[in-house]
Amino acid sequence: MKTSILLVAGLISSMLLQAQLKTTVVCPPFDVDVLEGTVNRLFTYSTLADVEKQFPCFTSATPETNGSTCGGVFFKDKDISFFTERNYIEIGAHFKGKLSIPLIGAARTSLFNVLGNPSIKDVTWDAYQTKYGILIVYFDKASKINKIQMSNRNAATLKLCE
């Protein structure tokens, strides 16, 4: 009888030892340098694999094709997207991270001191020529910035996703 109980206890113990522990993926904080066009030293032209390796907590990823899709790595909970196929990074109004220049929520009239004159101006957005390419800032109805796009391309070659 003791042998049977010990055998059953041994089997149960061995089954419990084989249980797998699952870890929670933790991302480093997002640190955006607006003037350099980087996020944690990832550039606008970084690859899908580079972004996934640096930030393993992405909410979704779309494979790249031949430029006809919007392949990239997306962090919906942090409001940042890396469109790796089109070489740009998009930061939304609810971005959870640090911006080198606090642009989200900034007034349109306050940008000249930091960014200078825009190279292209529209009713809802301004585009600034940068050393890495182009910075586009979008405005809400109160003329406050609610979205930023950084790309290594220029205005003529930039293709944005909808």
Strand order across the 72-75 sheet: 60-62, 72-75, 80-83, 88-92, 145-151, 134-139, 125-129, 120-121
Predicted confidence (pLDDT) at residue 8 exceeds the cutoff of 90: no
Predicted confidence (pLDDT) at residue 69 exceeds the cutoff of 90: no
Q: What is the spatial distance between Cα 65 and Cα 81, in angstroms, rounded to a whole number?
A: 17
Predicted confidence (pLDDT) at residue 65 exceeds the cutoff of 90: no
pLDDT tens by residue, 131-148: 999 999 999 999 999 999
Would you state the structure tokens that stand for residue 154, as one six-digit string?
């220029």
The secondary structure element, H or E, covering residue 11 is: helix 2-17
More confident call, 98 vs 4: 98
The secondary structure element, H or E, covering residue 42 is: strand 42-43
pTM: 0.83
Eight-state DSSP code of residue 38: E
Per-residue model confidence (pLDDT) at position 17: 57
- Short-list 100, 90, 79, 88, CA closest to 44: 88
Please check whether residue 72 is in contact with residue 48, taking contact to mean a CB–CB distance below 8 angstroms.
yes
Stretch 102-116: mean pLDDT, rounded?
Answer: 94
All domains of the chain in start order, with CATH = 29-151 (3.40.33.10)
Q: Which of 8-12, 95-99, 100-104, 113-117 has the lowest mean pLDDT?
A: 8-12
- Start-end of H helices in 18-104: 48-54
Burial grade of 97 (CB within 10 A; 0-12, 13-18, 19 or more): middle
Q: What is the spatial distance between Cα 78 and Cα 58, in angstroms, rounded to a whole number?
A: 9
Band (pLDDT 50/70/90 cuts) for residue 24 is confident
